[in-house]
Amino acid sequence: MRNTLDTPLEVQAPVSTCSGCRVYELCLPFGLDSEGTRRLESLMLPRTRVKKGATLFCQGASLETLYAVRAGFFKTTMITQVGRDYISGFHMQGEMLGLDAVTAERHFCNAIALEDSVVCGINFSQLEQLSQEFPALQRNMNKLMSQEVVNSRSILFMMGSMSSDERLGAFLLSLSYRYGIRGYSPYFFSLRMRREEIASHLGLRKETICRSLSRLRELSLVHVSGRDVEILNLPKLKHYVAGCDRPSP
Amino acid sequence: MRNTLDTPLEVQAPVSTCSGCRVYELCLPFGLDSEGTRRLESLMLPRTRVKKGATLFCQGASLETLYAVRAGFFKTTMITQVGRDYISGFHMQGEMLGLDAVTAERHFCNAIALEDSVVCGINFSQLEQLSQEFPALQRNMNKLMSQEVVNSRSILFMMGSMSSDERLGAFLLSLSYRYGIRGYSPYFFSLRMRREEIASHLGLRKETICRSLSRLRELSLVHVSGRDVEILNLPKLKHYVAGCDRPSP
DNA sequence: CGATTCATTGAGCTCACTCAACCTTTGTGG
DNA sequence: CCACAAAGGTTGAGTGAGCTCAATGAATCG
């Protein structure tokens, strides 16, 4: 991995620079040489601010640009003709938005900011071309895609075989882990989404989320006040989520 | 797309040839020029038979080879330490197995044949290298990955917001569609998996699958006898699955 | 500071689950 | 080829986890 100090210090450029990014290692430029990083940066669109509640892209829109979350928090939602909707994921810094659009070349979901956010955009065709030249970039694309598959599968597994309490626990663990690898505390964090949004994502109802929160609290696994979460006993929570407390069928 | 007749007729080669494959258009070689196809074929491992019930690869095993189903039918399963398991997908000809292993370079699931099957294997590193030379190949990789994401998301959506009857309907529609684009009848097909396996995949129980089947039968949407399925009214089934019959919340 | 959105808790209901019995199909060895 | 065993499928009865509806409390925001 390249040391970011190799990069000459520059005044704040008008375009996105990956070199100085907090979550560089989690994103596209990871492992690229300086030439590759420079080329990638030259393709990046200027950083874009997305206001809380604003939509970054819409389901069905043709895929032009892939985005990486630079700062802030997003949800992705899917909506059917009959108005049912589903929150397919939450995305924090260093995570890509729009990877599910590559097959159909149309966005498969809406991306909506849950707080004031900043995204780095890159034209997908140009990215594909560039990744032709830089194996590391291609590899990162593949890994990021594959990671998306794994994430979806994990939630599927949860939905298919876990109780509401366990699902919520797993969800909190996922957030905890993701904050952790970004250098934030895995024990204290704040939820950026409403209970109802958690519920949709986990295939439950907001009332159920409340009740499950209460139960996790009673078990002294977490402390939750409003949107502030404290994981009181991480190993115990992991153990609980793994289902070791239940008789296996 | 290259006309397969351009290919000189050969005696059955000991290695996998993509050129003559039934599901060529759904798989890796689609859109590759003849040079690219030749190179891809040169990397392919000899076609491998997998007996019904046999395991092609195991969860946790390091990723060496990606597989495409050439003939037959597979399920992929995930198992936790406590013995809970989940069937993450069913895979028919032209579909790739192992794409979720790319992130961690370890298989995330077990792949088990549900009938005597044939797979085409290819070393993943070599495939990555080759895709560096052939944009069409890389594009296909990206699309196949992205398609996996979309598939998982679709099931998530089902699990999160559909009744058992609707989920089963959607599952049958998915099979119907996939058989259809492979040149088989989208109206008549046979299930290669047990009720219990469908149940696991949809986050339900085998008894619930039976009851849901009965209800879809009563609605004259399908005719099911053993493992043989007939879709009696495809548009009506789609309409039913879309949830148009239910009051939206 | 009032309005609106969000969170929590209670009461009752429902859909899918569990358990169990019985039937059907598949597979195997005599 | 039959007989039997084993596995898979179906249906019934009762239960319970999570849902709906509703009321109230807390937080957020213009």
pLDDT tens digits, residue range B12-33?
445 568 888 889 899 999 999 9
User: Looking at per-residue confidence, does B88 or A80 come out higher?
Assistant: B88
How many Å apart are CA A5 and CA B211, to the nearest integer?
64
What's the mean pLDDT in A224-240?
A: 95
- Which phi and psi (to 5°) does residue A79 adopt? -130, 135
pLDDT score at B82: 77
CATH number of B162-242: 1.10.10.10
Q: What pLDDT, on the 0 to 100 scale, is given for residue A15?
A: 59
For an interface test with A, the pick among B146, B202, B239 (most A C-beta atoms closer than 10 Å) comes out as B146
Region B50-76 average pLDDT? 95
Q: How far apart are CA B196 and CA B85, in angstroms?
A: 12
Instruction: Map residue A189 onto helix, strand or coil.
Output: strand
**Statement: residue A17 has pLDDT above 90:** no
Decide if B26 touches A, using CB distance below 8 A.
Answer: no
Determine whether the distance from the CB of B226 to the nearest atom of strand C is below 7 Å.
yes
Evaluate if the CB of B195 falls below 7 Å from strand D. Answer: yes
Q: How many CB pairs under 8 A join A and B?
A: 151
Residue B9 reports pLDDT greater than 60: no
Given a cut of 90, whether residue B88 has pLDDT beyond it is yes
Q: How confident is the model over B151-194, as pLDDT tens digits?
A: 999 999 999 999 999 999 999 999 999 999 999 999 999 999 99
Check residue A1 and give its pLDDT. Answer: 40
Question: In sequence order, what are the beta bridge partners of B199?
Answer: none
pLDDT tier for residue B54 given thresholds of 50, 70 and 90: very high
The CATH superfamily assigned to B13-154 is Jelly Rolls (2.60.120.10)
Residue in the block written with tokens 């009744």: B163
Beta bridge partners of A86: A78
Average pLDDT over residues A100-113: 96
- pLDDT (tens digit per residue) in A157-215: 999 999 999 999 999 999 999 999 999 999 999 999 999 999 999 999 999 999 999 99
Q: Which of residues 95-134 of A touch strand C (CB under 7 A)?
A: none
Write the pLDDT tens digit of every residue in B118-135.
Answer: 999 999 999 999 999 999
Q: What is the pLDDT of residues A35-90, one digit of tens each?
A: 999 999 999 999 899 999 999 999 999 999 999 999 999 999 999 877 788 999 99
Helices (H), A135-242: 135-161, 164-181, 195-202, 206-218, 234-241
Report which residue type is found at B69: V
Residues 65-124 of B with CB under 8 A from A: 78, 80-86, 88, 99-104, 108-109
CB environment B141-155: b (16+ within 10 A), e (fewer): bbbbbbbbbbbbbbb
DSSP H helices, B18-67, are 34-43
How long is chain A?
A: 249
Q: Which of B86, B101, B150 sits opposite A156 (nearest CB)?
A: B86
pLDDT (0 to 100) of residue A8:
40
Please check whether residue A34 touches B, CB under 8 A: no
Distance CA A66, CA A15 (A): 16
pTM for the predicted model, two decimal places: 0.90
pLDDT score recorded for residue B16: 65
Alpha-carbon torsion (B93, B97, B99, B100), positive or negative: positive
Would you list the domain boundaries of chain B? 13-154, 162-242
For position A10, what pLDDT does the model report? Answer: 40
Interatomic CA distance for residues A164 and A213, integer angstroms: 10
Pick the CATH number of A4-151 from 2.60.120.10, 1.20.1250.20, 2.40.160.20, 3.40.50.410: 2.60.120.10
Strand partners, B85: B79
Which amino acid is located at A77 in the chain?
T
Amino acid identity, position B174 = S
**B109 contact residues in A (CB cutoff 8 A):** 153
pLDDT > 90 in chain B, percent: 83
What is the spatial distance, in angstroms and rounded to an integer, between the CA atom of A162 and the C1' atom of D24?
31
pLDDT of residue B246: 61
Give me the sign of the Cα torsion angle A71, A72, A78, A81: negative
pLDDT tens sequence across A112-163: 999 999 999 999 999 999 999 999 999 999 999 999 999 999 999 999 999 9
What is the number of other CB atoms lying within 10 angstroms of the CB of residue A78?
21
- For chain A, the average pLDDT equals 90
Given this chain, do its domains A4-151 and A162-241 carry the same CATH topology? no
- Burial grade of B140 (CB within 10 A; 0-12, 13-18, 19 or more): buried
Mean pLDDT of B221-244: 93
Burial readout B197-219 (b: 16 or more C-beta within 10 A, e: otherwise): bbbbbbbbeeebbeebbeebeeb
Question: What is the rounded distance in angstroms from the CA atom of residue A132 to the CA atom of residue A112?
Answer: 31
**Does the domain at residues A162-241 carry the CATH identifier 1.10.10.10?**
yes
